[in-house]
Chains A and B, each alone.
Chain A
Amino acid sequence: MLGGIKDFFSKNNFILKKIKRTFTKDNMKRWLRDNRATLIFMAIVAIFVTWGIISVKIAMANAVVVSYEDYVPREVTHDPAVVFAEPYNYEKIAGDENLELYFDKVHGTIQVKDLKSGNTWKSIVDGEVYENFRKSNQKWKQKMSSSIIVSYNDLEARDGRAAELTHAGECDYMESKLIENGVEVLYGFTVKGIYVTVQYLIEGGELVVKVPIDGITEETRYIVNTVIVLPYFGAADMYQDGYMFYPDGCGAITLFNNAENRVQSVKEAFLKTYTTNKISLDYWLMSDDYERYNAAMPIFGIKNNDNAFLAVVTGGDENSGITVAPAGRVVDVNRIYFELYIRNQFDITAANVTNTDGTVTTGREITRIDRNKLAVDREVRYFFLHDEKANYAGMADAYRTYLMENGQLNDAIADTDEYPLALSFLMGTTERQLVADKYITMTSFKNLEDIFEDLRAEGIDDAKVVVNHWLKDDEDFPSYWPVASQIGGKSGMADLNSYLAANTGLDVYFANNFIFATNDESGFSPIKDVVYSGIGTPISTETINQEEYFILGPDVVLEHVRDYLSKTKDYANIGVCFTNMGNVVYDDYNEDNPASRRDVINTWQTVLKETQAEGKKTAVEGANQYSYGNVDYLYSIPVSTYGLSITDYAVPFVQMVVSGLIPYSSGIYETGNLTYDLDIQKLEWIEFGALPYFYLTYENALELKDTELNFLFTSTYSFWRDRVIETYKEFEANFGDTYGEQMVAHEVLGEDVRRVEYSNGKVIYINYAETENTEFGITIPAKGYTIVEKEAN
């Protein structure tokens, strides 16, 4: 073989010569020089390819590979189709002086008897509850007969959309055993290999439903996404007198029997506690979507004739949601229930595709699910109410009592506190200009003191004041310090601090955002310090005008807050208002330092505690329940709901829970100056017990027109001064004595008339109509109110 080659070359000597001539040192050098760029490029490509291959290898080696081929399903204990055709047979298994728990061990369903009223609450729908039950289609009949609905995802599907298993439809395996105060039931779905343990208990006059996280087992590729327990508990048809209450905005009511006044195709309301369980920053930045889905509290309530109950998620509340479906949504049954999220789900937008005609198809959303469970035991508690307590005011009272007993709601109003005015100020901002941005001073510290003096001269000594946009150059996050020199700088801040020392009625809170960050500003690492989604990428918005928004991890937030507190130690009388902290909770999948939603809530609570420990007054923007324990002022609690078409009216539920304990203002657009009608805004404040609230500037609001803060279209102090003072005086005179009192009742007496009652016996009738109202034995002026003392009985 080799000889052959030798032979070949000796025969064709010229080839060898040519090769020798071609590959001289000089030629090689020249060739290298001429092709330098190509070679470098190829080297880079080679490096990338190698890197890619190595990382794929590593990833594949690390990936958890589970084989389900040897799965042998458990033996089926019964056929649901047979079982659910049989009659029900409930046996009492637990109870105390208030409640009795009944269990049907064949079906695995429960009933609760309220001994005080004699009412029995059913957990499923039958012919008694809903006359057309028998006529409903099979799937919905199964759903309505179910105690538990499990939704699951397929781990091996690329786009793992959730599917549903219902108790009455697919549950073919069941074990139940009596335990202390109740029963433990194992619901099994052998085909998919999913088993869920649920405990039904009676504890201290309350029904408690527990879903231990270890009680959820999966034996195949199908994994649990959400568990819904007792979806039809307390469900009612469209002829009952009653309603569903849910914490949309301030609190919303959907009446059982109002279906005919709604659109033909009603939709459910989906609420998620504290913030959405989806992880996308765009979603949070769109406040419209935020309001659409956010629930400030993990609760809902049902009132049916003279009976009611309040359901509260007391374990794993941060991973829960509420679904409200009124009669008319597929079946004419009103139902409301919690969704307990067992795992996080991610929506990934696949890359955009450019079509041949040049248009762009936005990428499809693909759903993936986290492999790991959210490791918290779930617990739902039902508080039963009857007679005069069987309404949303009673629910608010029950919840308030529960929170206070558990130390989650503190009393921030001292008996000596006077009725305050709520104010917000915008200090300054930058207007984008061609070369250098222009700083616009709207209110300096000096102006602020002048305004306070001016108000004092009118007898207004007490106010809750939130100071916004006071940072240097109105910087974006994550900046939290220093103060802008144009509004007075540190010396101005020190002056304000000493001014406040002499005027103890004024609580001033400097608003600061510690949670969001934009890469426009330095001070954080967009790789290390930010929150990651479950697919291992930092959560951010699209890059817009070179700006990209991120969320900071809870540890970074805590570090920033501590730094801020140490830097402002000298300004002890100036409090902190944590914007977004009462709105936003998230999971952080940052590999180095992961955090669950519960960890984040704990961090927020630590932040508030440490701020209060520093002796600083603490305010929080947003109404999420977890901040109630350590806050002096709740800033921006809406006096409205999102306004879904299924919502019949708004009620001050959140307000009733905190009234008399924590002072609160209305939402950011619900100020006296931004409203379309100050008279109506005043009535809303009265109805919701909110402080009269104005968002002001010292300089003319026209200055803001071309800035990004043009939402403040009118705010000039000199322009609003008289109206502010007049409003405060009116409120102080009429409602000063309700400050520190609980709002114990709220009634909707007609489309335009409301009645509010305080614990000191003060009753206020409010009339929103353009005409006077005399229907209730008293005269309520048009767009006005009448105060009466409660009748002696």
Chain B
Amino acid sequence: MTGLKIKGRLKKLFVTAMATMMLLQTMTGTAFAATADGTDYVTVNSNERNPIPKAYVVADEINNLGTFAKNSKNYFKNPQDIDIDRNNNLYIADTGNNRIVVLDTNYDVIVVITEADGLPFEAPEGVFVDDSGDIYVADTGNRRIVHLANDGTYIETFVNPTDELVANDAFNPSKLVVSETGLIYVVRGENIMAIDGNNGFRGLFGQTDIGYNLVEVLIRMFASDEQKKFVTRRTASAYVNVDLGDDGLIYATSVERTEGEIKVLNSIGNNIYRKYTNVGDSFVNPITSFINNKLLKAVVAGTSFKFGEYFDDEGNYIEPNFVDITVDSNGIVTVAEQDGGKIYQYDQNGNMLCAFGGLGESKGTFSRPSSIAVNSNGIIYVVDRLSNNIQIFEPTDFIKTVHAATTAYENGSYDEAFDLWNEVLSMDENYTLAHAGIANAYFKMGEYELAMESAMNANDRDIYTKAFDEYKYEVMQKHFFLIIVIVIVVIVLVYLFLKYSFRAAKKATWNYISDKTKKMSIGQGILFAYNVLFHPVDCMEAIRYNKKRINMAIPFIIFITAYVVRIAYIYIVHYPLASIDLTDANVIFEGVKLFIVPVTWIPASFMVTSISDGETKMKDIFFATSLSLVPYIVINVPLMFISNILSKSQASWYGVFSAACFIWMFIILFLSLWILNGYSFGKTIKSVIIIAFVMLLIWVVVLLCYVLVGRLFQFIGGVYDEFMMSIL
């Protein structure tokens, strides 16, 4: 009955933008994200949802302890952890009832443990069962970890180790695992603490490097000890939960937002799980990247991967909160996200396999998931601490095939993986990872063209690059002489073009300077602009002394050309080098990114120069500033065509050109300020700094106006609503 769905689902999303300086304001905007409604899905760059066939179906629910007791104790109360032993029995930390419940595979009670060593449990938040069936309980309220035999018999207790590094801090054990070597790893704020069998301290583990902070370094250098006490310590992000893989590695979730929401820690505590890769790693204009990262983080959400998603079902920007993690015997990771109630599953390399669940009242959705575990048959158990129940999800054939395929690939059985991925495609033609798997397989088979096609379908620029490079090499070998001839011809033609065009440009400039009677014609103006590239000083002087005769059509022509070049660039640039997908690009946003600097430079530099003995007028600043876009046009036009024989492996080389372009643009702006105003070099530098500051101020003011106008309209709307309501 989803006929009501109108072209995908509407998503409102509130874009939080941080204005700099002393102003902290919010602006609201909206964007549109197509979603899967009621179906399971995978995401593209953690943003756009692509529906997939149902991955898991709810097979059953555990709502109570069956015939255990006919009273309120028959139900769970705020259960917070679940673990599964080798025989697929369930161990549930029934936190609110201060007990550990052990259920067999028919979900009948085997034993209910309420105390250890004569002391009743108090709000136990974690339970772990090791391979031999021994139970470890994080008895949070009693600040201890107890070790029990499988039938609940008490064996030993662990308390806070006496090591001076940790002895003074409160010990609130919640989530824990025990390695095969008998070390207990327990989540302890920003670290995982290891305790050995003698309750000895064996180190803090897996702390994230928080990097340097200039302010902190200065404080350390200059502040007195007394002062240092009042400075809050910057801490690494805290761990949330842990699980132990069959490979002996520790799988953990944390609140770290940059590449650390999900971690796989090796024996020395380094994260070896997926590092983010973004669409297009080519050189990015630092200004746009600042705007992207700081001001418009929700607008550009989706240009980079993150674990979980950028938006919840209602389209609100979210920071995922992975409350628990579980890993199966093949290394497939499943995490439960608390706030949106979603279950996300990733393969061994951190690629999303499926997402399902969500908040809701129907079966298969949650009130507040608190823990997750997977058994040896791939059945997932999700504990809900508000609904006080456990839902049991059985994998469908579809997701089972996906698991088999990704595992086969991981184990190096590429042929098997190829067949399995094809089987996945027979159920879901659009499953991205299957296309990536097939692209890899084709690459290994030497079918580079097919690999490129599949890589495009998977939107995987890395595989595409690999295949393209091989393909290029093949073509080169095949048509070596032809290519050499073409290259020579092109070089000659380019040389001739440059030679004659420069000559013409120079001539046009001198004509303009020498013939003082005529106004600049359009053709002359275009050649004049072209001449700026290599004779910026001449050109700027020509403007300075012939201000009256410049043609104001030229700046507009340049602005429009630059814009057209930018749009054409997005269409033409080679796929692996594209920094933005065609379908994600926005005409207005591209224009803003391109013109924000020149357009604010104009008023800012006019303001600054007019109060500091500048000679320039708005008109000539406008003219000169537009000239700064000429290098952009001249470099990008050939570059977008050449990019089609380049791939991501030449990205750094390619980035040099982009960087050169921006440096060139800046030089022209700098010269225009210097020469047109007749400043000294030092004064020019000073002015540039002030102009930069003024530009920033302009942005802030514009942003502020935008926000305030929005608020005004909202206010008027609110008054109208109230009015209409009161006369109802």
Contacts and interface: CB of A to CB of B under 8 A. Distances in A.
Nearest to A549: B6
Contacts of B724: 535-537
B25 A584 contact: no
Contact of B24 (A292, A357, A366): A357
B37 A287 contact: yes
For chain B, give the interface size range.
35 or more
Interface stretch (B151-159, B196-204, B262-270, B712-720): B712-720
Interface stretch (A108-116, A636-644, A756-764): A636-644
Contact of A285 (B4, B361, B585): B4
B9 A267 contact: no
A114 to B, nearest CB: 35
B17 to A, nearest CB: 10
B728 A711 contact: no
A760 to B, nearest CB: 30
Interface in A636-692: 636, 638, 642-645, 667-669, 674-677
Contacts of B587: 434-435
B39 interface: yes
Given A351-B717, A644-B362, A714-B429, A366 B725 contact: yes
Contacts, number: 221
B50 interface: yes
B34 A710 contact: yes
Interface in A288-322: 288, 290-292, 294
Contacts of B12: 542, 544
B389 interface: yes
Contacts of B72: 264
A119 to B, nearest CB: 31
Given A351-B715, A583-B1, A713-B52, A676 B63 contact: no
B363 A709 contact: no
Interface in B685-728: 711, 714-715, 717-719, 721-728
Given A705-B430, A714-B428, A714-B429, A636 B4 contact: no
B722 A350 contact: yes
A476 B7 contact: yes
A518 B8 CA distance: 14
A294 B3 CA distance: 13
A288 B360 contact: yes
Nearest to B358: A288
B727 A710 contact: no
Interface in A517-575: 518, 534-537, 541-545, 547, 549
Given A286-B9, A516-B6, A716-B429, A352 B714 contact: yes
A64 to B, nearest CB: 10
Interface string B270-295: 00000000000000000000000000
Q: Main SS of the interface on chain A?
A: loop
Specify which of A63, A346, A543, A708 lies most central, judged by the most chain B CB atoms within 10 Å of its CB: A708
A711 to B, nearest CB: 5
A706 B583 contact: yes
B363 A711 contact: no
B37 A433 contact: no
A285 B5 contact: yes
Contacts of A358: 24-26
Specify which of B1, B34, B362, B586 lies most central, judged by the most chain A CB atoms within 10 Å of its CB: B1
B396 A676 contact: yes
Contacts of A291: 1, 38
A2 interface: no
Contacts of B64: 260, 264
Contact of A710 (B50, B457, B582, B728): B50
Contacts of B32: 544-545, 547
A719 interface: yes
Given A644-B361, A708-B7, A708-B34, A667 B2 contact: yes
A351 B721 CA distance: 8
A285 B3 contact: no
A137 interface: no
A774 interface: no
Given A285-B9, A642-B362, A348 B721 contact: yes
A348 B721 CA distance: 8
Nearest to B398: A676
A674 B14 contact: no
Interface in B5-41: 5-12, 14, 24-26, 28, 30-32, 34, 36-39
B430 A643 contact: no
Contact of B39 (A371, A669, A706): A669
Contact of A583 (B3, B30, B34, B727): B3
Contact of A667 (B1, B570, B582, B718): B1
Contacts of A669: 2, 38-39
Given A360-B14, A708-B34, A714 B583 contact: no
Contact of A701 (B24, B397, B429): B429
B583 A351 contact: no
Interface in A345-398: 346, 348, 350-352, 354, 357-360, 363, 366, 368, 370-371
B643 interface: no
A462 B2 CA distance: 26
Specify which of B53, B75, B722 lies most central, judged by the most chain A CB atoms within 10 Å of its CB: B53
B445 interface: no
A197 B211 CA distance: 76
A710 B361 contact: no
Given A636-B3, A642-B362, A702 B26 contact: no
A670 to B, nearest CB: 10
Specify which of A263, A370, A642, A704 lies most central, judged by the most chain B CB atoms within 10 Å of its CB: A263
Contacts of A542: 10, 12, 30
B360 A677 contact: no
Nearest to A369: B728
B476 to A, nearest CB: 30
A514 B38 CA distance: 25
A444 interface: no
Given A284-B4, A290-B1, A644-B361, A63 B727 contact: yes
A170 to B, nearest CB: 27
Given A643-B364, A674-B53, A676-B53, A710 B430 contact: yes
Contacts of A644: 361-363
A588 interface: no
Nearest to B430: A713
Specify which of A287, A623, A676 lies most central, judged by the most chain B CB atoms within 10 Å of its CB: A676
B431 interface: yes
Nearest to B37: A287
Interface of B: 1-12, 14, 24-26, 28, 30-32, 34, 36-39, 50-55, 57, 61, 63-64, 72, 75, 360-364, 387-389, 396-398, 426-431, 457, 567, 570-571, 581-583, 585-587, 590, 711, 714-715, 717-719, 721-728
13 contacts: A287-B2, A288-B38, A290-B4, A358-B25, A358-B26, A434-B585, A535-B724, A544-B32, A545-B30, A677-B398, A708-B7, A713-B429, A714-B430
Question: What 4 A-B pairs come out closest when comparing CB atoms?
Answer: A351-B718, A643-B362, A676-B53, A676-B54
Given A544-B12, A583-B4, A711-B37, 5 more contacts: A351-B715, A544-B10, A549-B10, A580-B3, A702-B429
